[in-house]
Structure 1
């Protein structure tokens, strides 16, 4: 585990991510990170958790009605 130091950036406070962490997250300058609360703090991810929930709901719907979709595809 490594520590990240908060730093003054203009009128805001920010953190500078080392390039190894950026590579691991597969993000670069200009990308957006999302945070969610977790049991031991917060989780940072480049993936929108709300979008993931919507995609999962769509997958479940398509799985439940797969026979109908199969018939419609004919």
Structure 2
């Protein structure tokens, strides 16, 4: 299946056909991971557990921002 890279605002993007999104269980607003592999790219649905861990880490870093800054000195 072929698609075209299109101009979207100040960026560029690829439209993913609905059939593929349905097979992968993806919808608008979902996050995907982009990997370079063997001269091409691979899109993988973002793993929910990793996304949750990153969200928790960001909340913790914001909450303890001052302490972390002091520890980094």
- Tell me the TM-score normalized by structure 1: 0.56
Give the corresponding residue for 1:32: 31
Displaced runs of 4+ in structure 1, greater than 4 A? none
Secondary structure of 1:21's aligned partner: helix
Secondary structure of 2:23's aligned partner: helix
Whose radius of gyration is greater, 1 or 2? 1
Q: What stretches of structure 1 of length at least 5 have no aligned partner? A: 52-74
Q: What stretches of structure 2 of length at least 5 have no aligned partner? A: 51-73
- Tell me the TM-score normalized by structure 2: 0.57
RMSD (Å), alpha carbons: 1.4
